[in-house]
Amino acid sequence: MIMTTPILRAAHGFTSRAGGVSLGVYAGLNLDDRQDDPAAVSENRRRLTAELGFGPDQVSRLEQVHGADVVQASPGQVQRADAQVTHQPGVLLAVATADCYPVLLEDPEAGTLQSGLPGAGVLGAAHAGWRGTVADIVGHTVRAMVLLGARPERIRAAVGPGICAAQYPVGGEVVSAFQQAGLGQFVQNGHLDLCAANLHLLLRAGLLPGHLWASGRCSTESQFYSHRRDAGVTGRMWAVIGTPLQGPQLQSQGQGQDHNQDSPRTQA
């Protein structure tokens, strides 16, 4: 049902269309109930959260507005922001995407208990579209995590599926915005590499190259929901991360691209 990465220790995942009960243009694991059958979406959410050791009432969601605000996660709530952070167990942070990039972050060493056993760590989840990237949403998320006890050099970040540069031609407004933000190198031949731009910003925020991971998957592939490919009539994936209240933390396994100093996508 979900894609995971070994770089994150907390329970987490990036969903695709697989494993759900929605029908029609939303067929699969659609997690957005604004237009789809609410009963189908409710079942999809139940399946996802149960797989990670949570209940639907433990999910902290966002009303995403393509900005740079970061909030403290609040289970059962829908807050207006594009990123959230927590150091509390029993909270599953969620961001929704259908071309924008989801970024999950974790400092697994923060919040270590006096016994020496690991606590919940400090977790973050960000939604990075082009406007949020220009506004450095991932940098704001890192700084919000630091306020909870995280340290940038310990934070691990995973970038899930989003629209790849080959499928992302952009106009003059976007080109100008990236140039003004000092990110013009990520627009080549009229196409925007949003993943590479966010990896760059994570490095700029103090993360280490070896602590970055990207799925390497494009949301315009048939396995995913894509707003651009489907002309706005489509479902939404979720990227989620949290520490369950009970049981051992889940081990991560998955596929993707590790990014280190030898990778051109992580060069500052």
Domain boundary assignment for the chain: 2-161+193-266
pLDDT of residue 117: 53
Question: What are the pLDDT digits (tens) for 81-93?
Answer: 999 999 999 999 9
pLDDT band at 118 (very low <50, low <70, confident <90, very high): low
Question: What are the pLDDT digits (tens) for 48-101?
Answer: 999 999 999 999 999 999 999 999 999 999 999 999 999 999 999 999 999 999
For domain 2-161+193-266, the CATH architecture is 4-Layer Sandwich (3.60)
Residue 38, both tokens: 């609410």
Cβ within 8 Å of residue 164, ≥6 positions away? 193, 195, 218, 219, 220
Instruction: Output the pTM of the full model.
Output: 0.90
The arithmetic mean of pLDDT across residues 234-244, rounded, is 97
Q: For the chain, what is the mean pLDDT?
A: 91
